[in-house]
Amino acid sequence: MKIGILTGGGDCPGLNPVIRGVVRTAINAGDEVLGIRYGWKGLLEKDCIALDLRSVSGILPKGGTILGTSRTNPYKKENGSKAAKENFKALGLDALIVVGGEDTLGVATKLFKEGVKVVGVPKTIDNDLGATDFTFGFDTSVNIVMECIDRLHTTAESHNRIMVVEVMGRHAGWIATYSGIAGGADYILIPEMPIDIGEICESIKKRHSRGKNFSIIVVSEGAAFKESDVAVQEKKLDEFGHVRLGGIGEMLGKIIEERTGYETRVTVLGHIQRGGSPTAFDRVLGTRFGVKAYELIKAGKFGKMVSLRGTEIIDVSLEEATKALKTVDLKLYEIAKIFFG
């Protein structure tokens, strides 16, 4: 068999372990793997490289993806879906492994319905795909944010400051919730729960009145005040209809300082959360996902996505995987609220 693999959407730690898992398993079985560069863009342009054992040697600890990525949507290009299907045949592919999040796998779902033999692998640091317990990249991101919060604690305490930490999370606050609990944040603000700024400021004042002269606030980029929409850097939409979020941290910091009188500083972690070497958890999960994706192809189970349920790697339909976002478990958020203030 000749199997294609592409990585689309935002990069994250764990992509290379997936690629390595697919290639090693396929070559051991006598099959061929073709790496499609820069996501769906590579399929539209037939930009490919052969992947062999040498190609994947040493990539396990590397962040990002050796294949490159993009936010290209074939269905937003003139005759894009037609070109994708024609190039799938022209490249002699028997199947295509698509590694991505909601948007990339959404394209895969459409192409499968149109006859392309596709298997999906869930990738997003936001951990917001509902058909899997965890996505690779999330654990690494949470550990990066946790370490940053740990570092901010010392300077916050030294200067009696309020520290606002803005993290990724467009529609779901998983990174903020997990890293906030692990890092001992005093407040965690997420898209699922509108921000009551009056309540936050009063709570900070009470905290200071009992001798706690600093506070750490973690906020998801997609969080919003009760009275307003999410903060955006620009209103231009990408090919999947998303605006570029950012700015909630600065807005929050300014309001807190004005209302409380306490010196406030803002740290926007941004793409730092996506970079660097994957954790052991993400290396193992990515590897297991890659191996399972190849096994699904050999079994002829197309239109499926690999998924972690408990400790088992199973498969679910791509349609089920992409039909709804997984938002933060409110029971977990209630645990976080125990430590607020």
Active site residues: 126
Could you tell me the CA-to-CA distances from 104 to 11, 232, 258 in Å, in that order? Answer: 12, 22, 42
**How many residues can be counted in the chain?**
341
Question: What contacts 24+ positions apart, CB below 8 Å, involve 318-321?
Answer: 318/105, 318/108, 318/109, 318/112, 318/118, 318/120, 319/109, 320/131, 321/105, 321/120, 321/122, 321/129, 321/130, 321/131, 321/132
Kindly tell me the number of DSSP H helices and DSSP E strands found in the chain. 12, 13
Q: Cα–Cα distance between 165 and 185 in angstroms, integer?
A: 10
**Quick one: tokens of 3?**
């199997």
Q: Cα–Cα distance between 42 and 36 in angstroms, integer?
A: 5
Q: Cα–Cα distance between 40 and 102 in angstroms, integer?
A: 14
